[in-house]
């Protein structure tokens, strides 16, 4: 077998797989419908593919939870990246609006705790999950209720005006 035939075989095995069958195309799918309940008292929302160092506004509707009552507020949690900006009780469920900063790459999970103002001890933990890609990697895929509201400035040490010590 010549070198060029060997290269062709290697290329064919990469494209078609080891047995010569065509490789299946991969696709990303999000489950439609209401948010998945991760654990009792926990709800999870997927917000799609985001870009690092971008700020997003996320709006979603929580299903009606009788144990919380009508008046709900966000408990202060130490998260600099996720901030609840508004909670409004529509006819069914709670309309939640928050601001999220995609601060690093990878699958990120940020939590917020919504507590009842009328029922003592009643709360629900909401997990917002995002897949964050690098800044120059491609176009983000935002799900319904998610919109980009701005990009953080990128610091580049080569753009610095500082010339060092004399």
Instruction: Quote the tokens at residue 151.
Output: 């990009």
Q: Is residue 75 part of a domain?
A: yes
pLDDT of residue 155: 62
Query: How crowded is the C-beta side of 123, counted as CA atoms within 13 Å?
Result: 13
pLDDT by residue for the chain (166 residues), tens digit each? 444 444 344 433 443 444 444 433 333 444 444 444 455 668 899 999 999 999 999 999 988 888 888 888 999 877 889 999 999 886 788 899 999 999 999 999 999 999 988 888 889 999 999 999 988 887 888 899 999 999 887 665 565 666 777 6
Q: How far is the C-alpha of 50 from the C-alpha of 152, rounded, in Å?
A: 13
Q: Is residue 133 part of a domain?
A: yes
- pTM score > 0.85 for this model? no
Q: Is residue 156 part of a domain?
A: no
Is 126 within 8 Å of 154 (Cβ atoms)?
no
How many domains does the structure of the chain reveal?
1
pLDDT of residue 131: 93
140 by DSSP, 3-state: which? coil
pLDDT of residue 107: 94
The CATH number that applies at residue 68 is 2.60.40.10
pLDDT of residue 153: 79
Q: Is residue 9 part of a domain?
A: no
Q: Is residue 67 part of a domain?
A: yes
Range of the domain at 38: 31-151
Q: Is residue 160 part of a domain?
A: no
Is 116 within 8 Å of 122 (Cβ atoms)?
yes
Q: Is residue 4 part of a domain?
A: no
Q: Is residue 113 part of a domain?
A: yes
């Amino acid at each position: 077998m010549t070198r060029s035939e060997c290269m062709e075989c290697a290329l064919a095995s990469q494209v078609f797989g080891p047995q010569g069958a065509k490789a299946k195309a991969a696709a990303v799918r999000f489950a439609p419908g209401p948010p998945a309940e991760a654990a009792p008292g926990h709800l999870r929302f997927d917000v799609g593919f985001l870009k690092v160092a971008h700020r997003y506004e996320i709006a979603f509707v929580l299903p009606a939870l009788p144990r919380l009552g009508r008046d709900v507020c966000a408990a202060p949690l130490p998260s600099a990246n996720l901030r609840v900006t508004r909670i409004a009780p529509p006819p069914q469920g709670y309309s939640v609006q928050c601001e999220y900063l995609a601060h690093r790459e990878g699958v990120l999970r940020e939590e917020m705790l919504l507590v009842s103002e009328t029922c003592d001890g009643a709360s629900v933990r909401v997990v917002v999950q995002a897949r964050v890609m690098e800044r120059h990697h491609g176009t983000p895929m935002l799900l319904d209720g998610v919109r980009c509201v701005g990009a953080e400035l990128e610091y580049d040490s080569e753009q610095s005006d500082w010339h060092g010590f004399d």
